[in-house]
Amino acid sequence: MDPEPFEVGHVVREAINILSSSRNGVQISEALGTIKCYLGGTENQAPLKEREEFTRVHFSAFLRGLVSNLSPDWIELLTSDQQKELWDSFFLEGPADQVFLVLLDSIISMGPSFCLMKVISILEQFLQTGGMSALMWEVCHQQAQAGLPTFQETLLNKVVCLPDHLCNKLQGNNLPIFFPQNYFPLLATEIIQVLQRISDSLRDGLDCSISFVSQVLGKVCMHGRREEILKVLVPRLMDLTKVDCIWQRICWRLVECVPDRWIEAVVCGFVQKAPGADVLSRLLGNLVVKNKKAQFVVTQKLLLQQYSYATAVLQNLLGYLALDSLRRYLLIKVLKELLETWGSSSAVKHSPVEQQLYVSKAILICLSHLKEPEIESNGQELLTSMMGGMKCHLDSNLPRVRRLGMIVAESISSRITTDGPCLKFQYEDDDETRELKSLQQTALLQLPVTDLPNHEGGEGDMVKSTWTNSCLRFFHSDDDLIPYDMSEDKELKKMKVPVYIRDCIEVLTGSEDMDKWEATMKVLESLIRRNSATTREVSMELAKVLLHLEEKTYIEGFVELRKRALVAVTITDAVVQYLTSQFYSLNYSLCQRMDILDVLALAAQELSQPQASGKNKPRSTQSPCIQTVPGSDSSQNWRRIVDERIKSKTRRLAKGQSLVEPACGPNKFSSLAGHFFFPLIQNFDRPLVTFDLLGDDHLVLGRLAHTLAILMYFAIHTVAAAAMGKSLLEFVWALRFHTDSYVRQGLLSAVSSILLSVPSERLLEDMTDEFLETQSWLADVAEKDPDGDCRRLAWQNLLLMENLLKKLRSVPS
């Protein structure tokens, strides 16, 4: 045996003894000085072998000894210079991994004391002087010579959990450097330094392992701190990898070496933080090809399972797949999978609209990245999935889903057929469709990921600047004359308009003169409202004509004109029975049936509203019905603006009671409510040859549910309300598991109407069972329904129920 190791051990033990027993400053400092020789760096170093021996075997023990001896009066035996030179230097200059472990262990085990404060201040200095990079470098260095796995494991834990430990220990007195928002950025800069040293040593031809750094990165990301660490790390790496291929290799290795269980967190972080697909490609390399787990995350999880990421992230991700020939097969694979999801009718029905939007965006971006030959070789497949997907999207009742289907189908078809006609749908453009369409073009022009707060700020500025612009234009325009409203400037019609209702019927049924026909349509509603007596004579005929009327030539707002006229007829004379019976009869188009529903709803609304002395006032716009055109006219608007302006300029000293009495009159809907309601609800489950509410025609079913809800709502304070509520609850119960979310929305609003319109005593006494059943169904919907609107409606209903019950309890019967 070599005697020297024994000797080093002897010296160390002696020194520890002196430290713990002696009360003599000089003796202590001498002992410390002796040990210091083993650390090296001073002029009288111990031989190399002894130094290695010391650091490997005795250093930790010695440090522990130092810490355990620490007490206020002990430390005062040394002068402050000596403290710094002898005591502190062991921690700041010794092997960083051991120092770190000893420090953290003692912090964890110690109670609040002077000693703890001292150790913490040493730890702070340790962090500030780049201790972490020394630590990681140390481990990386050892790893090349196969270090101890358990030791590394503990070290890793301590490094990542340092903020937690210190926070637990110090509570309110924590130092800022240990806050996660400060510590992890610091860690990131230290990581960069280690990587710098690794790259230097690689350039010198030395071997180095990076896996400990990867582990640190992975574990930090996993612990939910990827925002803090990648905020610093990604931009630095982006700069460093720009020109240097060794740095690129290091970066690739860094991500590749992250253990599988943490790779998801790291990859997600990189995808979100990278400012563009090219950067992402530089940082990740061909990771998705090499690592199965990463591949799964990128191609499945981020695209098909999650849908909360911004569009820019999608662009990064898919652009990354498209950038390298090795990865392009994945792009095509991803596209096929996306199309499969997009085209699956079950997904369209059951997944939230937001997810469908996300998938659609992904498809559009994929398409924009595909090249001609790739499309050609997959053309047939694309076509098939497009046809399938288009069908189930167009079947949907939600306009947004239909539009998504149209846009994606249009874009696919335009890519498949380069020459010749491609699909073209008619839909109104809004922000969403414009965004989707822009995605088709932005393949090469990558949008950078901007931080959200910045983005908002920018937008605010923009709004402000346009506002000031418009103001400036207002004040400094050349001619300061303000134009009047010129919307009335329409083309002049030279046609005589009919004056009698019978003439109108004649024109509408027989005339081939389109101008006359158009003029008639425009004047019909006012004629009907003015001549109620004549209308009564011909009401049935008129209703029939109007219901079967088709748009022979293009008239602006034809549908609305016809609907208004029908409503006017319905109000003037009870043709309700006719309309309700026609709803379930043969030989009507779905469109006509839905018109019947709309007319009934509008008529019910108008009837139920009190009208002072029979005057027909313009309809209020905030009604809950499905109005397509708000009926306010400009003079009303103008009056409102003037009133508001007067109000704002007038100071009122005392505000008296408002004197405006609400218009009152008998509710005309009361006697008719039953006629509106029951014929509609009776036959919904009896399919006709051309009309099957429970089958394919779920759009009409949805409208029916909404209309019933509206009728119920307007039937408040009527005698029939309780009976109506009961049968409507049964209707809801029968259809509660309908697959179409539009129908479910209708049912939920029907429940709301019931809760609002049916007197609460009736509801709770006569329909207790139904009430309770509905409540449990609502709770279920509120939690599990895939559609956001449905969930919200269900919550509202539950709240309404809660309030009802509360009110009932507070009034003892």
Contact positions vs another protein (CB under 8 A): 471, 474-475, 478-486, 488-492, 634-635, 637-638, 641, 645, 649
Q: Is 229 helix (H, G, I), strand (E, B) or coil?
A: helix
Q: What gap in Å lies between CA 360 and CA 366, rounded to an integer? A: 10
Q: Which residues of 166-195 are buried (b: 16+ CB within 10 A; e: fewer)?
A: beebbeeeeeeebebeebbbbbbebbbbbb
Question: Closest by alpha carbon to 504, among 550, 565, 422, 459?
Answer: 565
Shorter beta-carbon distance to another protein: residue 6 or 474: 474
Q: Which residues of 663-701 are buried (b: 16+ CB within 10 A; e: fewer)?
A: eeeebebbebbbbbbebbbebbeeeeeebebeeebbbbb
Q: Which helix (H) or strand (E) holds 47?
A: none
Shorter beta-carbon distance to another protein: residue 84 or 464: 464
CA angle 150, 251, 149 (to 5 degrees): 5
Q: Which two structure tokens, joined as six digits, stand for 270?
A: 């990189």
> In whole angstroms, how close is the CB of 524 to another protein at the nearest point?
21
Shorter beta-carbon distance to another protein: residue 73 or 480: 480
- Say if CB 582 and CB 683 are below 8 A apart: no
Shorter beta-carbon distance to another protein: residue 648 or 658: 648
CA angle 165, 167, 168 (to 5 degrees): 65
Shorter beta-carbon distance to another protein: residue 121 or 636: 636
- Say if CB 318 and CB 365 are below 8 A apart: yes
> In whole angstroms, how close is the CB of 334 to another protein at the nearest point?
48
- Say if CB 537 and CB 562 are below 8 A apart: no
> In whole angstroms, how close is the CB of 430 to another protein at the nearest point?
23
Question: Closest by alpha carbon to 142, among 96, 91, 104?
Answer: 96
> In whole angstroms, how close is the CB of 213 to another protein at the nearest point?
56
> In whole angstroms, how close is the CB of 474 to another protein at the nearest point?
6
Shorter beta-carbon distance to another protein: residue 206 or 642: 642
> In whole angstroms, how close is the CB of 476 to another protein at the nearest point?
11
- Say if CB 302 and CB 268 are below 8 A apart: yes
> In whole angstroms, how close is the CB of 518 to another protein at the nearest point?
16
Shorter beta-carbon distance to another protein: residue 41 or 630: 630
> In whole angstroms, how close is the CB of 486 to another protein at the nearest point?
5
Q: Which two structure tokens, joined as six digits, stand for 37?
A: 């020789």
Which residue blocks in 495-589 are alpha helix, DSSP H?
Answer: 501-510, 514-530, 532-548, 558-572, 576-583
> In whole angstroms, how close is the CB of 493 to another protein at the nearest point?
10
Q: What gap in Å lies between CA 646 and CA 637, rounded to an integer? A: 14
Shorter beta-carbon distance to another protein: residue 514 or 641: 641
Shorter beta-carbon distance to another protein: residue 475 or 554: 475
How buried is 702 (Cβ within 10 angstroms: 0-12 exposed, 13-18 middle, 19+ buried)?
A: buried
Shorter beta-carbon distance to another protein: residue 490 or 806: 490
Q: What gap in Å lies between CA 316 and CA 277, rounded to an integer? A: 4
Which residues are CB-neighbours of 49 under 8 A, at least 6 positions away? 4
> In whole angstroms, how close is the CB of 528 to another protein at the nearest point?
24
Q: Is 22 helix (H, G, I), strand (E, B) or coil?
A: coil
> In whole angstroms, how close is the CB of 158 to another protein at the nearest point?
58
> In whole angstroms, how close is the CB of 475 to another protein at the nearest point?
7
> In whole angstroms, how close is the CB of 485 to another protein at the nearest point?
4
Q: What gap in Å lies between CA 97 and CA 99, rounded to an integer? A: 5
Q: Is 693 helix (H, G, I), strand (E, B) or coil?
A: coil
Shorter beta-carbon distance to another protein: residue 243 or 486: 486
Length of the chain: 813
Shorter beta-carbon distance to another protein: residue 492 or 689: 492
> In whole angstroms, how close is the CB of 456 to another protein at the nearest point?
22
Which residues are CB-neighbours of 305 under 8 A, at least 6 positions away? none
Shorter beta-carbon distance to another protein: residue 617 or 640: 640
Through-space distance between the first and last CA atoms of the chain, rounded to whole angstroms:
100
- Say if CB 93 and CB 39 are below 8 A apart: yes
Shorter beta-carbon distance to another protein: residue 73 or 478: 478
